[in-house]
Amino acid sequence: MTPTSNLLIMVLMKLKQGISLAAAVVAAATALSSCTATPAATNKVTVTVAAYPLQFLTERIVGANGTVTNLTAPGTEPHDLELTAKQIADMSGTDAVVYIAGFQPAVDEAIGSTPPKLAIDVTQGLTMLKASQDGAAAEEGSNTEANDPHVWLSPSNMATMAKTIDAKLSAANPELASTFEANTNSLISELTALDSSYKTGLSSCSRTQFITSHAAFGYLAHDYGLTQVPISGLDPTEEPTAARIAEVQKLAKQYGVTTIFFETLVSDTVAKSIAGDLGLKAAVLDPIEGITTTSAGTNYLEVMQSNLNALKEANGCS
Ligand SMILES: [Zn+2]
């Protein structure tokens, strides 16, 4: 029998068992491929990641030695992610889950209720910033304040996060440790170069304040001596109050900003209306919570470079 006819028979058997067609095809194909698996396949690690920046890091670190599944579908906003029962079951079946504690409540809950084989919280080893009331990050705020979860918008944080993922995956897969380490070192050199571009590019500017759609850029601002003025708070889906919009307009005039930044994954209506009211430009500053075809780049490094160009232009950097 040919593999195709094998597959067809297995699909028909699964369908008889009352399984849906799509599930039957997947189950049959999985069963068939496992019969013909090569020994190399045993070296593959399966990793679930909670959001795009973690997908970027993990894919670079595991390279061809693993498969990475992102819980947040491309083009969807990760903060208010909801997980299906199947996603939670699949997640606990993978070798590791990479997440940012305190970023996505659904992920924190799933890891608590259905502990995966290996949970890698990339905030370990990072200095977390607190979110002050207007959303701007300030170090060591009151204890009741939430941590700012947008750790990935600092290239130097990303290098630390890469080291954490590498260390945990290598400990669990010692036979792949040297490969993971080589991949991680090459990734870190690119992140270090990005950090240097930011330091150089933002060292001499007409102003340091920038107005953003939601408070995602606290770590970036902290690293490069800037001040973010967010229209919304840490959660991009929260509507800003009229008072907050008036305050942002006042600050925009006070600081002499040229540009109101908006994002790719959430509504740009408020940002564009503030820009219109004040006769300012509106431009994208991407919090890189997901990559889509409209992103200004195909990966984290490219979009961060585009963000740097946007900041330099908006802030009059030489
Ligand atoms: Zn965010």
Distance 184 CA to ligand 1 centre (A): 26
Mean pLDDT of 39-68: 90
The answer to whether residues 27 and 63 belong to one domain is no
Model pTM above 0.75: yes
Q: What is the CATH number of the domain that holds 131?
A: 3.40.50.1980
pLDDT confidence of residue 272: 93
Distance 303 CA to ligand 1 centre (A): 15
pLDDT confidence of residue 61: 98
Distance 197 CA to ligand 1 centre (A): 23
Distance 150 CA to ligand 1 centre (A): 6
The answer to whether residues 68 and 134 belong to one domain is yes
Distance 270 CA to ligand 1 centre (A): 16
For 109, the token pair is 């809950």
Distance 83 CA to ligand 1 centre (A): 18
Angstrom distances, CA of residue 318 to CA of 70, 116, 281, 309: 39, 49, 19, 11
> Which of 61-75, 231-245, 262-276 reaches the highest mean pLDDT?
61-75
**Phi first, then psi: what are they for 131, rounded to 5°?**
-95, 120
pLDDT confidence of residue 260: 96
Better pLDDT: 142 or 252: 252
pLDDT confidence of residue 145: 77
Q: Residue 34: is its pLDDT beyond 90?
A: no
Q: What are the residues whose beta carbon lies below 5 Å from ligand 1 (ion)?
A: 216
Distance 151 CA to ligand 1 centre (A): 10
129-138 pLDDT per residue, tens: 997 634 444 3
The answer to whether residues 164 and 269 belong to one domain is no
Q: What amino acid occupies position 154? A: S
For 49, the token pair is 């990641």
pLDDT confidence of residue 143: 53
The answer to whether residues 192 and 47 belong to one domain is yes
Closest listed residue to residue 303, CA positions, set 281, 282, 315, 287: 287
The answer to whether residues 180 and 238 belong to one domain is no
Domain boundary pick from 168, 196, 224: 196
Q: Residue 30: is its pLDDT beyond 90?
A: no
Confidence of residue 236 (pLDDT cuts 50, 70, 90): confident
Distance 266 CA to ligand 1 centre (A): 10
53-62 pLDDT per residue, tens: 999 999 999 9
Domain boundary pick from 196, 218, 247: 196
Distance 216 CA to ligand 1 centre (A): 5
Judge whether 24 and 47 are in contact, CB under 8 Å: no
165-213 pLDDT per residue, tens: 999 999 999 999 999 999 999 999 999 999 999 999 999 999 999 999 9
Average model confidence (pLDDT) across the chain: 87
Domain boundary pick from 163, 196, 229: 196
The answer to whether residues 22 and 70 belong to one domain is no
Distance 218 CA to ligand 1 centre (A): 10
The answer to whether residues 153 and 225 belong to one domain is no
The answer to whether residues 258 and 157 belong to one domain is no
pLDDT confidence of residue 144: 61
Mean pLDDT of 113-121: 96
Find the helix packing angle between 155-172 and 177-201, rounded to 10°.
180
If one counts the domains in the chain, the total is 3
* First CA to last CA distance, the chain: 69
Distance 44 CA to ligand 1 centre (A): 32
Which residues lie below 8 Å from residue 286, measured CB to CB, with a gap of 6+? Answer: 263, 264, 295, 296, 303, 306, 307
Distance 265 CA to ligand 1 centre (A): 10
pLDDT confidence of residue 214: 92
Judge whether 108 and 101 are in contact, CB under 8 Å: yes
Q: Residue 299: is its pLDDT beyond 80?
A: yes
The answer to whether residues 217 and 308 belong to one domain is yes
The answer to whether residues 97 and 215 belong to one domain is no
Better pLDDT: 141 or 210: 210
Confidence of residue 39 (pLDDT cuts 50, 70, 90): very low
Distance 69 CA to ligand 1 centre (A): 20
Mean pLDDT of 91-110: 97
The answer to whether residues 180 and 47 belong to one domain is yes
Distance 105 CA to ligand 1 centre (A): 13
The answer to whether residues 305 and 190 belong to one domain is no
Mean pLDDT of 109-114: 96
Distance 241 CA to ligand 1 centre (A): 18
Q: Provide the residue range defining the domain that includes 22.
A: 1-37
